[in-house]
Amino acid sequence: MPLNLMQQTLQLGFRIAIAWAGGFLIAAAVRAVLPDQLGLNFAGKHSTLFIPFSRIGFWTCIWAAVTVTVLVVIRAMMGDIGSGPVR
């Protein structure tokens, strides 16, 4: 039985919420587990930039949640336009 537009919208909203919640939980776990003393050093002419692995992991998880959100929204827009099937 095909879903109506409101059901599809609610389902996509829940998927986005789950992706963001998962991203934040994983990001918080990465931030808590990895020590701040481990990271990458980028040497410049005047100074050195230190980026801890905990921050890299945090922003990677957030970026993944943003990517999922964008892909789900684009998929929904394509379904509204009629360019592809939305299940």
Is 86 a domain residue? no
Give the span between the Cα atoms of 66 and 8, in whole angstroms. 20
Is 28 a domain residue? yes
Which two tokens mark 87? Answer: 């299940």
Residue 57 contacts residue 34 (beta carbons within 8 Å): yes
- Identify the residue with better confidence: 57 or 66: 66
Percentage of residues of the chain with pLDDT beyond 90: 0
Overall average pLDDT of the 53-65 stretch: 76
Is 13 a domain residue? yes
Is 14 a domain residue? yes
Structural domain harbouring 42: 5-81
Q: Given a cut of 80, is residue 77 above it in pLDDT?
A: no
Domain count for the chain: 1
Q: How confident is the model at residue 14 (pLDDT cuts 50, 70, 90)?
A: confident
Q: Given a cut of 70, is residue 83 above it in pLDDT?
A: no
Q: pTM of the entire structure?
A: 0.54
